[in-house]
Chains A and B, each alone.
Chain A
Amino acid sequence: MAENCRCFSGGFPMNAKIIEVVDETKTGKRTLLFDKSFENMRPGNFCMVWIHGADEIPLGCAYENGVTFQAVGPATNALFELKAGDSVGLRGPLGTPFTFPEKGEEILIISGGIGAAPLAPLAEKSKEIGADVTIILGARSEADLIFEERFSRTGKVLLATDDGTKGRKGFVTDVLAELDPAKFHKIYVCGPEMMMKFVMKLLIEKEALSKAEFSMERYFKCGIGVCGACCIDTLGVRVCKDGPVFKAETLVDSEFGKYRRDASGKRIPY
């Protein structure tokens, strides 16, 4: 953590200046790089990004000093307005990260859309450790694909786009269906919940769920494990602290894929 960090266990925002804005796609997926780094960041960690005067939201750490996000709502739209030289508040690195593979292990990374953000540093770290990395990278179309080059430097990338503009036409599950998960030691998944739900179904069928870790998304209020807004049924575990990365087996029979709660705590079915 940077020396002037005021951030004890991620509890108080650290002021960070945006030093670079990178448009990953023309469809509103963008990376912001900061002048401060989370040197103790582990892939799967997230940080709370405070957009002054707007809101504070959780974003997966795509770099030690950067986040990658998609403009989808008021907070991310406000973040999209910021330019190099502007500052935000950062709390992090927060949450339970992915488990690292061991040297020589074969791993499979399944990424859907913006889910690539925490998975790209995981792929890089895994390669560094000496694991053999295969990535199924999915997006709506070629124009929505992110980190293709970043992933391809770490291992074999199997592409899938919904409309077939690049790679295989179809979903990540169509690619997964043709692979033999038995050969992988670990499987890491992040993407839209419906995508992860179908990945889970396939992994159960192929008896490979015990190897998988899923990164979850829920509405976060405090972000530090106290308020309970992001607790998931029926274990009552907190996505912000006990997660966002969970062993996939713990999500079976949970609210995963069925419903989530909005900021008031009301259940919203998928």
Chain B
Amino acid sequence: MVYLAAGVLLKNPTLLAAGILGTTGASMTRMIRNGAGGVVTKSIGPVPVYGHANPSMVTLNADGGKGQTFGYLNAMGLPNPSYGEFKQEIEFAKKNGDAPVIASIFGGDSKDFTAVAEGLLPSKPDAFELNLSCPHAKGYGADIGSRPCHVEEITAAVKNAVDVPVWVKLTPNVADIKDIGLAAQAGGADAVVAVNTVRGMAIDIYSGWPVLGNRSGGMSGPAVKPVAVKCVYDLYDVLEIPVIGVGGVSCFEDMIEMMMAGASAVQIGSAVYENEHIFTDVWSGAQRFMKENGYAFDELIGMAHRRK
């Protein structure tokens, strides 16, 4: 069975999120073999970027660090080899994997975005995901993605340049995410992806230093899931286009919850840290849950909205 989500035929509705194991075609292929229903690449831009200094990702744990991992903090700094060099990685994943490959792209303005999208088109990505939400790259990501007018203009420009679906990944670090979602829809987006990481920071109290090389970054993992669920819920309310849920999904229960909030599919990122077969585990658990409770897949999407 295949799932049509946001204009793309997925092998199953669990996708590898952008920025996770998406630097090489071989790695994305491996995630497809591990059960991902589709993969989103590392965000690719117009010129090579080497990223922020390390540490670029740490885990966050309860009880002064000794307890359970409740989240992750990262600031990679959009490292990427630029679209010219990256085409071969998409081609590899398309050739060796049997699930769609969605190209995540970023830029400083609509000209950058269209140049990257057009540059990657020959490698035949199944869709584009516009990174208008990275919280720690000056002049990129959330810097432009928190302004509805830029989001609409950039979305429209990419839609005009490509003939495959265009998804827009949103930042939760705004006063009202609905405004940004509506702007993406007005620009012609085929779906929104909610959410990118939540701005955050951690300080090593034994040295006094901010832990990330970039000093602050974005938080992911279990603790951001309620933030993501609320964003998905709000977006589902106001949008005509599908919402893809991402943020802290690490078990099938999280996926079902995300769908009940309004997600048509989910993306999984940081949870690969604990379990690289997470896609298979989440999707088989979700299927079992649906069977046991007599739910159809479509019936689950937005179910919480109808409970009142």
Contact = CB atoms under 8 A, between A and B. Distances in A.
Interface of A: 5-9, 11-13, 15, 48, 50, 52-57, 87, 89, 91, 220-229, 231-238, 261-267
Contact of A221 (B29, B30, B56, B269): B56
Contacts of B7: none
A232 B65 CA distance: 32
Is chain A's binding surface mostly helix, strand, loop or mixed?
loop
Nearest to B44: A265
Nearest to B33: A236
Contacts, number: 166
Given A48-B55, A221-B79, A226-B273, A265 B27 contact: no
Contact of B59 (A15, A89, A224, A266): A224
Contact of B53 (A55, A225, A262): A55
A11 B67 CA distance: 12
A231 B39 CA distance: 16
A48 B48 contact: no
A48 B54 CA distance: 10
B48 A12 contact: no
B85 interface: yes
A262 B89 CA distance: 15
Contacts of A11: 58-61, 69, 72
A40 B21 CA distance: 27
B88 to A, nearest CB: 8
A227 B54 CA distance: 12
Contacts of A53: 209
B69 A6 contact: no
A50 B209 CA distance: 11
Nearest to B209: A52
17 contacts: A6-B61, A6-B64, A8-B67, A8-B68, A13-B58, A56-B213, A87-B207, A223-B57, A226-B57, A226-B273, A231-B26, A231-B27, A234-B26, A236-B26, A263-B51, A264-B48, A265-B81
Interface in B191-237: 202, 204, 206-207, 209, 211, 213
B156 interface: no
B28 interface: yes
B59 A225 contact: no
B68 to A, nearest CB: 8
A12 B72 CA distance: 10
Contacts of B209: 52-53, 89
B262 interface: no
Best-buried of B50, B74, B204 by chain A (most CB within 10 Å): B204
Which of B24, B57, B72, B81 has the most A CB atoms < 10 Å from its CB?
B24
Given A12-B211, A231-B24, A263-B79, A56 B59 contact: no
Please name the 5 residue pairs, one residue from A and one from B, whose CB atoms are nearest each other, closest first.
A11-B59, A6-B65, A236-B26, A15-B206, A56-B54
Contact of B48 (A5, A57, A227, A266): A266
Contacts of B30: 231, 235-237
B23 interface: yes
B204 A264 contact: no
Given A55-B53, A221-B54, A226-B21, A266 B61 contact: no
Contacts of B202: 12
Contacts of B29: 236
B267 interface: no
Given A228-B42, A231-B23, A8 B65 contact: yes
Nearest to B67: A8
Given A237-B30, A265-B79, A227 B207 contact: no
B270 interface: yes
Given A57-B54, A226-B272, A12 B81 contact: no
A89 B207 contact: yes
A8 B66 contact: yes
A207 B50 CA distance: 41
B103 to A, nearest CB: 14
A187 B24 CA distance: 30
A94 to B, nearest CB: 12
A265 B22 CA distance: 10
Contact of B76 (A12, A227, A232, A266): A227
A238 B273 CA distance: 12
Given A221-B51, A265-B86, A232 B57 contact: no
B44 to A, nearest CB: 9
Nearest to A231: B27
Contacts of A222: 56-57, 74, 76
